[in-house]
């Protein structure tokens, strides 16, 4: 009989794949429909389109790996599989984290209107050169992730060696230092920058609401629904970010929490689709219009 942990991994893998494929297909097709009608996308839609493609690929790879592990424990002994599978997974994860930062930076610079030179520069870059910026970010993340092939191969060679300390000039210290620098650039830095954008955006909105409430001029209060949606989007993306990284910590603590975080990690790319749907009114309207039209035609026939 299958172990409950492996059964939960199998269920989460299948469920995540079943949710990700239709959800992100709708997101990608919705944004392509916007391009067809308007000729270009807004900065948020460009990032949502990139996130849709990256998260779909990430969910597929994570689900396939999860199903393989659940159905056959012997796959743990095939080190070559992890050598060639883990670096692409980490590339998609790191790039998704940086996409979260650029979305947070766009919201922050648009909502807060800070007059500091750095924020003005970020706002100008995101508004005018976002496609080039995302390409350069992907290139930088790729450069950081590619040595992962070497790191995982070196790790497996060291673990299989007799002395477990050094082989062919490769030491555990070098592999460890690489992983530290990789996680710093791919995880810690985008998380800290995104969290900073969240703090700045929320503090600006709180000050703005306080000023409006204490304004005695009797002017009409502005509609902050769009700003609240942006703030909610950043918060949920960082929350998913935290749950995803939590498994990497809880994996060293054998408990029921590690099982929970493991399943949350498998489902996190699919959960981001719901965050994108609630944040993008245009994509949501296009998808609802298509489903409404199809259902209306089916009822007529």
Identify the band that residue 250 occupies on the pLDDT scale cut at 50, 70 and 90.
low
Q: What is the 3-state secondary structure (H, E, C) of 146-167?
A: CCHHHHHHHHHHHHHCCCCCEE
What is the pTM for the complete model shown?
Answer: 0.84
Q: Structure tokens of 179?
A: 């992983």
Q: How far is CA 48 from the centre of its chain?
A: 10
Tell me how crowded residue 213 is: count the other CB atoms within 10 A of its CB.
8
Supply the pLDDT for residue 39. Answer: 78
| Span 273-285, pLDDT tens digits | 999 988 888 777 7
| Span 190-244, pLDDT tens digits | 999 999 989 988 988 888 778 777 765 555 555 678 888 888 999 999 988 887 7
pLDDT of residue 178 exceeding 70, the answer is no
**What is the spatial distance between Cα 1 and Cα 210, in angstroms, rounded to a whole number?**
60
Higher-scoring residue by pLDDT: 247, 197: 197
Does residue 285 contact residue 35 with C-beta atoms inside 8 Å? no
CATH node for 4-300: 1.20.1070.10
| Span 93-136, pLDDT tens digits | 999 999 999 999 999 888 887 667 777 788 888 888 888 999 99
Identify the band that residue 287 occupies on the pLDDT scale cut at 50, 70 and 90.
confident
Identify the band that residue 53 occupies on the pLDDT scale cut at 50, 70 and 90.
very high
Supply the pLDDT for residue 249. Answer: 61
Q: Structure tokens of 108?
A: 């922050």
Once rounded to an integer, what is the mean pLDDT over residues 152-161?
A: 50
Q: Residue ranges of the domains in the chain?
A: 4-300
Does residue 10 contact residue 70 with C-beta atoms inside 8 Å? yes
| Span 68-82, pLDDT tens digits | 888 776 666 665 666
Does residue 209 contact residue 227 with C-beta atoms inside 8 Å? no
Does residue 246 contact residue 191 with C-beta atoms inside 8 Å? no
């Amino acid at each position: 009989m299958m172990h409950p942990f492996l059964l939960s991994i199998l269920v989460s893998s299948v469920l995540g794949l079943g949710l990700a494929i239709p959800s992100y297909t709708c997101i990608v097709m919705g944004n392509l429909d916007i391009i067809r009608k308007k000729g270009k996308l807004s900065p948020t839609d460009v990032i949502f389109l990139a996130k849709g493609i990256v998260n779909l690929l990430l969910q597929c790879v994570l689900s396939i790996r999860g199903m393989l592990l659940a159905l056959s424990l012997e796959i743990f002994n095939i080190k070559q599989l992890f050598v060639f599978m883990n670096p692409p997974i980490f590339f998609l994860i790191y790039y998704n984290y940086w996409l979260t930062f650029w979305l947070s930076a766009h919201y922050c610079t648009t909502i807060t209107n800070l007059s500091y030179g750095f924020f003005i520069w970020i706002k100008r870059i995101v508004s005018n050169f976002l496609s080039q910026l995302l390409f350069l970010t992907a290139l930088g993340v790729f450069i950081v992730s590619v040595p992962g092939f070497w790191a995982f191969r070196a790790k497996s060679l060291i673990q299989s060696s007799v002395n477990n300390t050094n082989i062919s000039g490769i030491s555990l210290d070098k592999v460890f230092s690489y992983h530290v620098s990789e996680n710093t650039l791919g995880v810690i830095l985008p998380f800290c920058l995104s969290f900073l954008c969240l703090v700045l955006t929320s503090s600006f909105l709180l000050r703005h609401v306080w000023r409006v409430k204490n304004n005695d001029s009797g002017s009409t209060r502005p509609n902050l629904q769009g700003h609240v949606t942006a703030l909610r989007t950043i918060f949920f993306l960082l929350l998913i970010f935290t749950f995803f990284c939590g498994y990497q910590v809880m994996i060293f603590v054998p408990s029921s929490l590690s099982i929970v975080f493991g399943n949350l990690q498998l489902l996190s790319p699919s959960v981001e689709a719901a965050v994108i749907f609630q944040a993008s009114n245009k994509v949501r309207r296009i998808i609802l219009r298509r489903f409404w039209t199809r259902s209306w035609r089916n009822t007529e026939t």
